[in-house]
Amino acid sequence: MVPSLVGCDGATARRNRPRIPGGEASTTDERRHEFTQDLFGWITHTDLASADPSATRDWCAQVLGWDFQAPLPTPEGDYHLFAYSATGGGDIRQTGPDEAPGSTPTVHVPDTQAAYDAALAAGAESVRQPTTIMKGVRVALVRAPGGVLIGFSGPTDS
């Protein structure tokens, strides 16, 4: 048995937490996300950039007990979407050229464009302009003063 960072093996961790709606998605499902209004301002998504996303996914499932959906194909490679609770999760993706492995927090916002514009007005640098990544989800990325990456994720109009 592999030791777990959460005090139990991954199977026990999975049994002892709420079921994640949509956790059984297949690659043929239309991806859509419904935003939870009560979570605005919270970090609800963590982007993990990995040199070996499949190995990171397998390790997180085994050791941390995270649930994964089928990979979400993107032009940059598959995104392995995970959930560790009913209100938190993220993705594991391939590192980009010259990018070191790491993580980026994403804050749940009511309006991605407004949050992005406010961040730039307060001195942040644009990394990725607001972009719709799936039905219901619009994201943006800024570099806050001091160099920290912060993502924003909000609902789309449709």
pTM: 0.70
* 119 plus 156 within the same structural domain: yes
Mean pLDDT of 122-146: 93
In a domain, 82, yes or no: yes
Question: 89: domain range?
Answer: 40-103
**Domain with 148 in it: what CATH number?**
3.10.180.10
Reply yes or no on whether the pLDDT at 27 is more than 70: no
Mean pLDDT of 32-57: 84
* 56 plus 98 within the same structural domain: yes
Residue 34: per-residue pLDDT: 61
Reply yes or no on whether the pLDDT at 23 is more than 70: no
Residue 15: per-residue pLDDT: 41
Reply yes or no on whether the pLDDT at 158 is more than 80: no
In a domain, 72, yes or no: yes
Query: Which residues on neighbouring strands pair with residue 152, listed in sequence order?
Result: 107, 140
Residues in the chain, total: 158
